[in-house]
Amino acid sequence: MIAIARHPVAARPPFRAAVAYYPECYGVVMPLQVPVPLLMLQAGRDEVSWNWACEDLVKRLPSGFPVEVRVYPAARHAFDVPELPPLLKRPGGPIGYDPEAAAAAHAEVKRFLGR
């Protein structure tokens, strides 16, 4: 997210679309400036990356900015990493694999990038 936010407006983006899994939006002080379609996939039970920070960022985007947000309510941070157990408690916050959320996110990414 930070890399997209800092990309110069006048420059042509090096990509046509972006997908951000459970993005870290905290600390992004300026709205995103690259007008490429963006898909944000968030874990509803994320205690590592705060969803409220992404919600705030999306509210500050310029009118017409092409952003889509999908939230998987039961998922935790790292929900798409099959090597993880469903719940791994760690100092930075719990994370865990959620096969249903991972499959849904994978399908959403294919749909989004297939346009």
The parent domain of residue 101 ranges over: 17-113
DSSP-derived 3-state class of residue 100 = helix
The reply to whether 39 falls in a domain is yes
For residue 111, what pLDDT is reported? 97
The reply to whether 87 falls in a domain is yes
For residue 64, what pLDDT is reported? 81
The full DSSP string for 53-81 is HHHHHHHTSPTT--EEEEEETT--BTTT-
The reply to whether 11 falls in a domain is no
The reply to whether 10 falls in a domain is no
For residue 78, what pLDDT is reported? 97
The reply to whether 84 falls in a domain is yes
Q: Is the pLDDT of residue 74 over 70?
A: yes
**Average pLDDT value for the chain:** 87
Total domain count, the chain: 1
CA atoms within a 13 Å half-sphere pointing along the CA-CB vector of 20: 22
| Higher-scoring residue by pLDDT: 18, 28 | 18
The full DSSP string for 79-102 is TT-TTS-S-B--TT--B---HHHH
Residue 31's domain is classified under what CATH number?
3.40.50.1820
Question: How big is the chain by its Cα radius of gyration, in Å?
Answer: 15
C-alpha to C-alpha distance for 31 and 58, rounded to whole angstroms: 8
The reply to whether 41 falls in a domain is yes
CA 31 to chain centre: 15
The reply to whether 6 falls in a domain is no
**Token pair listed for 100:** 């249903």
For residue 34, what pLDDT is reported? 63
The reply to whether 108 falls in a domain is yes
What is the percent of the chain with per-residue pLDDT over 70, rounded to a whole number? 84
For residue 2, what pLDDT is reported? 47
User: How confident is residue 57, by pLDDT bands cut at 50, 70 and 90?
Assistant: confident
